[in-house]
Structure 1
Amino acid sequence: MSLIWATRGRTWGFRFLRDGGFGDPLHIYDDAFSGVGDEPEVWRRVAEKGALRFPDPLGRKDRAGRIIPHEFVVLGPLVDEIDSVEDARRLVWPQVADEYTRVWEMPKPPSAGR
């Protein structure tokens, strides 16, 4: 499964934690989320990719008290298995949950990878 993943940490702002293997994932991310709006939960398929957004499943908040959002561009065959935010959260979150637990309190964001 290939993912572009953008989120915040407790003290650092919105960053890409996974780049989906792209040197600059911003164009693909922007294309997937274009026109999605600011709803807290979103699943939208755009051709061969999907835009997914949901609040942190553990309710973690940044130092300003805002719930942490997780935004993903889902790429590859997994897109065909997803029909809703619930499907996506069930399939995607387990792939990144431990990673996020390790990094969300870091004072500086880690580099994007994978």
Structure 2
Amino acid sequence: MTVARSESVIWATRGRTWGFRFILDAGHSDPLQEYERAFGDEWDAPTAWHRHDGRVALRFPDPLGRHDSAGRVIPHEFVLFGDLADAVDSVEDGVNTVWPLVSEMYAHMWEAPNPPNG
């Protein structure tokens, strides 16, 4: 993932043994604020796509079907900005466009015993 792309993405997820956390922050000192603004009322749905104010909120389950050590499905939640947000018009677009940008990074984190430094 290039720096330009990572500055266009807030990414939150869980790992096998570590809890929900922000992996990428799109350069925001407090990504939670942007995350909450983008997702609005989309808290419980297993998948979500929502465009508002030039940003896209995107959620989908791990494409490889991974579960954490408690057996919960791993969700990947993104807030997209700029050209990347413009390129994603559905959950399916998000899986096809965004997942290839982070899948290798996540594969390395998945095997780690501790959460990444975020």
Structure-1-length-normalised TM-score: 0.94
Paired amino acid for 1:45 = R
Q: C-alpha root-mean-square deviation of aligned residues, in Å? A: 0.9
Q: Determine the C-alpha separation between the residues in 1 that align with 2:30 and 2:97.
A: 25
Q: Determine the C-alpha separation between the residues in 2 that align with 1:104 and 1:19.
A: 19
Aligned-pair identity in percent equals 57
Matching residue within 68, 73, 82 for 1:67: 73
Matching residue within 22, 44, 52 for 1:46: 52
Shift of 1:80: 1.6
The answer as to whether partners of 1:11 and 1:105 remain within 8 angstroms in 2 is: no
**SS of aligned partner of 1:43:** strand
Matching residue within 5, 20, 30 for 2:26: 20
Query: Per residue, is there more helix in 1 or in 2?
Result: 2
Q: Determine the C-alpha separation between the residues in 1 that align with 2:88 and 2:15.
A: 26
Paired amino acid for 1:90 = N
Matches within 5 A, 1:1-114: 1=5, 2-112=8-118
Paired amino acid for 1:83 = D
Q: Determine the C-alpha separation between the residues in 2 that align with 1:103 and 1:81.
A: 26
Shift of 1:105: 2.7
Which runs of at least 4 in structure 1 moved beyond 3 Å after TM superposition?
none
The answer as to whether partners of 1:61 and 1:68 remain within 8 angstroms in 2 is: yes
- How many residue pairs align between the two structures? 112
Q: Determine the C-alpha separation between the residues in 2 that align with 1:104 and 1:23.
A: 25
Q: Which has the higher contact order (CA 8 A, sep 6+)?
A: 1
The answer as to whether partners of 1:52 and 1:73 remain within 8 angstroms in 2 is: yes
Which stretches in structure 1 are left out of the alignment for 5+ residues?
A: none
* Larger CA deviation: 66-75 vs 30-39: 30-39
